Amino acid sequence: MGVLGFLLEVVDVIHEGKGPAAQALQAMEANPYEMFKTQVRLAGQKLGLPADLLKIIETPERVLEVSVPVKMDDGRIEVFLGYRVQHSSARGPCKGGIRYHPAVTVDEVKALAGWMTLKCAVVDIPFGGGKGGIVCDPAGLSEGELERLTRRYTAMILPLIGPSRDIPAPDVNTNAKIMNWFMDTATVLRGEPMYAIVTGKDVAVGGARGRREATGRGVMIVTQEVLARLGKDLRGATVAVQGFGNVGSVAALLLHQAGAKVVGVADISGGLYHPSGLNIPELVEHVARSPRHVIAGYAAPGVVPIPAEEVLTLDVDVLIPAALEGQITERNAPRIKAQVIVEGANGPTTPEADVILEERGCIVVPDILANAGGVVVSYFEWVQNLQYFFWDEAETTARLAQIMRRAFQDVWNLAQAEKVSLRIAAQMLALARVAEAIRLRGLFP
């Protein structure tokens, strides 16, 4: 039975055969938290985990909603809505980013927190999952407004977080500068250094060397691993990358340096194609110099501009979606030619597209494994902050590679043994680890 058959069957079981499964699937897609819960139930049933235990894992431990008043530059006071969700601390302190976006909802934050629990468990680092968000449009805020918003939000969630409780990090529209303010605010309010309360900071204020490159490096490592399992060499393999930001540009550069031919890239400004491989170091330099940090305006002999969406359907060995969620859909999946997809972005493939890809024999390395390099090096940053002992970049890189390779091997072995996709295997592996921690700890009181 394909993944869709399996999904529909279980959705029908959940709905006691009353509602059409397709409608249930639609509802899941519309609400990420419903989708998370369904994934937990599916993987849990495959593992034979008791329903009571799954109930614990489906539900976040804590959900904090805060209202964040900010004095705007024109003297008005605006009140922003913010959240911090602690999904699970079964395997360690909660860990996960903070998102600034107008579309943030509590259900989105709950789902993202749950996926962080699974991501940390797949790579077997001693963290649970958490996530935060503020409903705001950072593009419409001045630097001063953004700083006051960040500092007040930090103060509002401070009673619940801390280096041994819950450690935030950057996510969509948040960056090292915001993490620096976050750490500084906690330090001022607590009256003692609080470097380990947040990761993703600049190196001068406790950040880890190699953190910026970590997610892209992890993507490169798992690409190498999956190709090796298929008997293919990374050298000479053709690659297309969607998104040329932090994850996409670093992955493209490292793959290029390892001998792969990155023939296509795309970002918000368009796409570029060169049949014998783009000069990625030159393109990275161009993007760094470009005022909007985009690939538009780059020209070189043999380079052809293509529409951005065409990068997904190029005839390549490996496709790396590293832009946004929901990019590979039932509309474009039938035209995807890559044998391997490595999900640099979070949630780039819709469940319907997943089914089409699996039926066509395309191997998808799922996001919770493929892009976990960032959280692994966040873990290293936290360790270094707690010890006041900082590593050089070579140590970070070597330890990151070790963890990513081991995690890939674990997921690959389980997928082979259970005859399931890498996505389902990653979810099963993660869930089994979380469930074991809950079982061993027992239930208080």
Q: Give the interface with ligand NAD as residue ranges (CB under 6 A).
A: 172, 215, 242-248, 266-268, 308, 322-324, 344-346, 371, 374
Please choose, from the candidates 346, 397, 406, 415, the residue with its C-alpha nearest in 3D space to the C-alpha of residue 225.
Answer: 406
Q: Which is nearer to ligand NAD, 54 or 169 (CB)?
A: 169
Question: Is 131 annotated as catalytic?
Answer: yes
Q: Which residue is nearest to ligand NAD (CB)?
A: 245
What are 238's strand-pairing partners? 261
CB neighbour list of residue 326: distance below 8 Å, 6 or more residues apart: 347, 348, 350
Query: Smallest gap, in angstroms, from Cβ of residue 170 to ligand NAD?
Result: 7
Of the listed 95, 131, 201, 261, which one is catalytic? Answer: 131
**Rounded CA gap, 232 and 133, in Å?**
41
**Rounded CA gap, 404 and 408, in Å?**
6
Query: Smallest gap, in angstroms, from Cβ of residue 120 to ligand NAD?
Result: 12
- The overall longest dimension of the chain from CA atoms, in Å, is 70
Q: Which is nearer to ligand NAD, 345 or 363 (CB)?
A: 345
Cβ(85)–Cβ(331) below 8 Å: no
Sign of the Cα torsion 62, 375, 29, 355 reads: negative
Q: Which is nearer to ligand NAD, 113 or 322 (CB)?
A: 322
Query: Smallest gap, in angstroms, from Cβ of residue 164 to ligand NAD?
Result: 23
**Rounded CA gap, 301 and 241, in Å?**
20
User: How distant is the alpha carbon of residue 279 from its chain centre?
Assistant: 27
**Rounded CA gap, 240 and 247, in Å?**
13
Query: Smallest gap, in angstroms, from Cβ of residue 187 to ligand NAD?
Result: 24
Q: Which is nearer to ligand NAD, 203 or 324 (CB)?
A: 324
Strand positions, DSSP E, 3-157: 62-71, 77-88, 94-101, 129-135
Q: How far is CA 202 from CA 312, 338, 367, in A?
A: 33, 37, 25
Please choose, from the candidates 189, 223, 200, the residue with its C-alpha nearest in 3D space to the C-alpha of residue 376.
Answer: 200
| SS3 letters across 317-368 | CEEEECCCCCCECCCCHHHCCCCEEECCCCCCECHHHHHHHHHCCCEEECHH
List active site positions.
Answer: 131
